[in-house]
Amino acid sequence: MSNEHLSIAQLQQQIESYLQLGSTNVIFNYQDKGGEKLRLDVITVNPRHEQSFLFHSEYGFDKIDALRKVLDYVQNYRSRDNSYTIQWSVRGENELHTSYFRARDIVEAIEKLHYGRDANSLVIFSVVLNPIS
């Protein structure tokens, strides 16, 4: 394994450790945006309802640069972002789900919920800004 691959694996493991999401899966989705830009979307998958959500996105010059920015974010996001609770269901299903997001504002929290899916596939019942703890 090259040093670059080892560094990528170590950074991804550090990020997963900081998130402490238990049995929730973490997916690192890299997208080449042309030129010297790479976008990294960190996605979490909830095993209970098997839905995926955007946790955070960063841009970098390469995978290591983007991962370092995400690691900095996960080490500090609780003090930077607001906490939101969103109650939602999949359109056509009766089960109500509750998910929690960290975001700058309500719009970003909803965008994280809708990530990778048609916005009309979910019904949002409430979005609440949680008290600062």
Q: CATH no. for residue 132?
A: 3.10.20
**Residues 11 and 64 sit within 8 Å (Cβ to Cβ):** yes
- End position of a domain, from candidates 80, 102, 118: 80
Quick: pLDDT tens for 25-84: 899 999 988 777 999 999 998 877 788 999 999 999 999 999 999 999 999 888 889 999
What is the per-residue pLDDT for 1? 58
**Residues 105 and 84 sit within 8 Å (Cβ to Cβ):** no
Total domains in the fold of the chain: 2
Same structural domain, 53 and 73: yes
Instruction: For residue 47, give the 3-state DSSP assignment.
Output: coil
What is the per-residue pLDDT for 18? 86
C-alpha closest to that of 70 among 39, 116, 46, 104: 39
Residue 122 has pLDDT above 90, yes or no: yes
Same structural domain, 12 and 39: yes
- End position of a domain, from candidates 38, 64, 80: 80
What is the per-residue pLDDT for 24? 66
Quick: pLDDT tens for 107-117: 999 999 999 99
Where in the sequence is the domain holding 58, given as residue range(s)?
Answer: 1-80
| pTM, to two decimals | 0.88
Same structural domain, 85 and 74: no
